[in-house]
Amino acid sequence: MSARYVVVMAGGKGERFWPSSRLARPKHLLPIVGDKPMLTQTLDRLPDLAPPENTFVITNREQVEAVAEACPALPRENIVAEPVGRDTCAAVALASLLVRQRDPAATFAILPADHVIRDQAGFSAILRTAFSVAEAGPNLVTIGIVPTEPATGYGYIQRGGRLSEIDGRTVYRVERFVEKPDRETALSYLDSGDYFWNAGMFVWQVATIDKALSRHTPSLAKAMETVANGLAQGTSLDALLDNVYPGLEKISVDYAIMERAEAVAVVPADFDWDDVGAWPAIARHFPSDKDGNVLRGNALQEGGKGNIVISNADHLVATVGCEDLIVVHTPEATLVCPKSRAQDIKKLVKRLEADPRRQDLV
């Protein structure tokens, strides 16, 4: 069996969780759900899959120190910073380079840093099956979450024919990836039983993903070879990434590779999963009062329902007669937003980024 590695992608901004989430300490570095940072919880799930020396975290320059603080068991050289964000395909190419430098014959998993998964045993079992599928041939393997509702906020994976039976689990070929559907379409997906939620978790051999990168994103593959050659000549990784990263195409691995590749397999997952993509999602993970209000910290509610109110210990936030609001107070900023407009928080953050007077709030 080849060596196994795990690469965790932890470079996002978590804009939909503003004002708690900021560039230097975003969602995955906060205890959005649970009592530890989301990244720490992710790393806590990995010991059965790969030891710390075989685990990498890819982040950005602004977050390196906070990431190191959140994962003290990880070797510092395994925390690698992208100089600028170029979406997930560039991160995957960099991940493959990092693993290849250690072991060209290795197999590695790509995992997001900020998902909620409480069933560690179930998670480990599914990932071990995915590793076995990837090691059995030139398969690009993805994890498909069995849907529990007609969600419109996730991408979907349609399964094709049966590929194999591994560890008592049926593994399928992927027929296609589909974008976030409307509710009627999502209902049809749920009724068919042939679709899974796309959780952005992947497993593959170094050689398999490198071949796919060379075929579908040749300029990106060439840039990573430039980095590899520079490393062989003794140039620092940071300097090499500074040189090549600004010119890389900004594209997700789903668009660039997974939707175009042929030998793609999906392992159905039955562990609990939530990507907690925006403030309304936390209501699924905290107790509420009889009127459906979720109150965290120094918060008080009178005569309202369906609200999420969050504050720190030093500042009382009180609401009266409000319905379906998100209210989040931090020492620097306070957000008030209807739940139905939670996705627009990202637009607000873009405005802050463009305002020289308020850039320190991003």
pLDDT in tens, 115-134: 999 999 999 999 999 999 99
Torsion, Cα of 96, 100, 105, 106 (10° steps): -60
Write out pLDDT tens, residues 277-314.
899 999 999 999 999 999 999 999 999 999 999 999 99
Give the end of a domain, one of 269, 287, 307. 269
Which distant-in-sequence residues (6+ apart) come within 8 Å of 271 by Cβ? 117, 119, 122, 123, 126
Residues 295 and 260 occupy one common structural domain:
no
Instruction: Say what the pLDDT of residue 348 is.
Output: 96
Rg of the chain over CA atoms, in angstroms?
21
Instruction: Say what the pLDDT of residue 14 is.
Output: 87
Residues 256 and 285 occupy one common structural domain:
no
Answer yes or no: is 246 within a domain.
yes
Q: Is the dihedral of CA 100, 102, 107, 110 positive or negative?
A: negative
Q: CA 143 to CA 127: how far, in whole Å?
A: 8
Answer yes or no: is 274 within a domain.
no
Give the end of a domain, one of 244, 269, 294. 269
Alpha helices in the chain, H assignment, sequence order: 38-44, 64-70, 87-102, 120-135, 183-192, 206-216, 218-232, 237-244, 253, 345-353
Answer yes or no: is 347 within a domain.
yes
Residues 349 and 231 occupy one common structural domain:
no
Residues 243 and 182 occupy one common structural domain:
yes
Task: Name the residue range of residue 357's domain.
Answer: 279-361
Residues 165 and 215 occupy one common structural domain:
yes
Instruction: Say what the pLDDT of residue 153 is.
Output: 87
Half-sphere exposure of 354 (CA within 13 A, CB side): 6
Answer yes or no: is 306 within a domain.
yes
Give the end of a domain, one of 269, 298, 313. 269
Q: Is the dihedral of CA 105, 107, 113, 119 positive or negative?
A: negative
- Looking at the structure of the chain, the number of domains it has is 2
Instruction: Say what the pLDDT of residue 305 is.
Output: 96
A 10 A CB-CB count for 136 gives 15
Global pTM reads: 0.94
Q: Do 318 and 302 contact (CB within 8 A), yes or no?
A: yes
